[in-house]
Amino acid sequence: MTAPRREMLGYAFVAPTLVFLVAFNVFPLAYNLVLGFTDAELVARGFEWRGTANYGRVFADPEFAQALRRTGLFVASAVAIELVLGFVVALALRARFRGRDVLLTALLVPMMLSPAVIGLFWNLILDGNYGVLNQALGALGLAEPQWTTDSDFKFLSILLIDVWMWTPFMLLISLAALNSIPGTLYEAAEVDRAGRWTVFRRITLPLCAPLLGLAALLRATDALKQFDLVMAVTGPNDERTQTVSTLLYQVLFRDGKLGLGSAYACLALVLVIALATVFTRYLDTLARRST
């Protein structure tokens, strides 16, 4: 086949996907940007130009700042707790024993489930009056908080469900990281009579770090979108649990303010794109280091 024809064929293979993705991602971004300067509403047809009035409102809105802080706090605590827990469980699962693979598969199930459906069911477990968690806590003589309704505990409840769902993700990647460490390093450390803690600090941790970083970034980009669990536990308009995504839902679909919501969305997307850029750069460095 002649070279130019071959080259054209390559583009033919990738074009449908790229067209699809541009249509469903770049086009909405551009459209959002335009809508953000209007007073468009969900039910009304037609709109008027509002200039930068929406952006003025967004920047002056304490709710948006609050949702941003809340989301940031959620991402940071979810990633940190899940990473530590997942890594600790991975250390315990590192040795081979009978039934290990079955146990591992069972432990990974939660992350494959639907957060919306399972999150809804968690309301029954966490219920302050008849929930099984509080009955267990009560039997142990511990406090029985109103997990989903007490304003000091709502956020914690959502975090708890997220930790339950996503620690398996960190466990899976931590195990891969641990398995990638060459056994010869540990043998050398044994010859040198290095202590357990030294081995962990000088070999295990640094060699796991790149993959753990990848896991943390992947999880962070996902947690940044947190919507399903908040909807399931408190709904979109609770000042103690409102994340950026649920604030958007409230403004766009409950209040029906498409123009204002689009301005919010554009600002939120700046953050998402920034994090996505960090992630892809990191991936690039990792790939380059391993080749």
Partner 1 sequence: MKALRVLVLAAWALVALLPLVWLGLTSLKTRADTIRQEARFVPVLARPGAGEPEAPAFAATLEAYGKLGEVHIGAEQSFWQHLGHSLVIAFFSTVASVLLGTFAAYGFSRFRIAGAKDWLFFVLSTRFMPPLAVVVPILLVYRRLELGGTHLGLVLLYTAFNLSLAVWLMKGFIDEIPRAYEEAAEVDGYPLLAAFWRIIVPQAATGMAVTAVFCLISAWNEYGFALTLNHSGAITVPAYFAGLQGSIEGMPWPQVAAGALVFVVPIVVFTVLVRKHLLRGVTFGTIKQ
User: Do 170 and 162 contact (CB within 8 A), yes or no?
Assistant: no
202/214 Cα distance (integer angstroms)? 20
173/102 Cα distance (integer angstroms)? 17
Nearer to partner 1, 155 or 236 (CB): 236
Query: Rounded to the nearest whole angstrom, what is the least distance from the CB of residue 287 to partner 1 in the complex?
Result: 8
Measured from the Cβ of residue 76, the count of other Cβ atoms closer than 10 Å reads 12
Residue 111: which H helix or E strand, with range? none
Measured from the Cβ of residue 196, the count of other Cβ atoms closer than 10 Å reads 9
Percentages of the chain per state (helix, strand, coil), in multiples of 5: 75, 0, 25
User: Do 52 and 65 contact (CB within 8 A), yes or no?
Assistant: no
Nearer to partner 1, 79 or 224 (CB): 224
Query: Rounded to the nearest whole angstrom, what is the least distance from the CB of residue 91 to partner 1 in the complex?
Result: 8
Nearer to partner 1, 4 or 62 (CB): 4
Query: Rounded to the nearest whole angstrom, what is the least distance from the CB of residue 43 to partner 1 in the complex?
Result: 11
Query: Rounded to the nearest whole angstrom, what is the least distance from the CB of residue 105 to partner 1 in the complex?
Result: 5
Residue 140 CA to chain centroid, in angstroms?
Answer: 33
Dihedrals phi, psi of 36, to nearest 5 degrees: -60, -20
Query: Rounded to the nearest whole angstrom, what is the least distance from the CB of residue 255 to partner 1 in the complex?
Result: 13
Nearer to partner 1, 108 or 156 (CB): 108
Nearer to partner 1, 204 or 245 (CB): 245
Please compute, for residue 266, the number of CA atoms within 13 A of its CA located in the half-sphere on the CB side: 21
Nearer to partner 1, 37 or 261 (CB): 261
Query: Rounded to the nearest whole angstrom, what is the least distance from the CB of residue 82 to partner 1 in the complex?
Result: 12
211/177 Cα distance (integer angstroms)? 6
Nearer to partner 1, 139 or 143 (CB): 139
User: Do 38 and 47 contact (CB within 8 A), yes or no?
Assistant: yes
Query: Rounded to the nearest whole angstrom, what is the least distance from the CB of residue 192 to partner 1 in the complex?
Result: 20
Dihedrals phi, psi of 215, to nearest 5 degrees: -60, -45
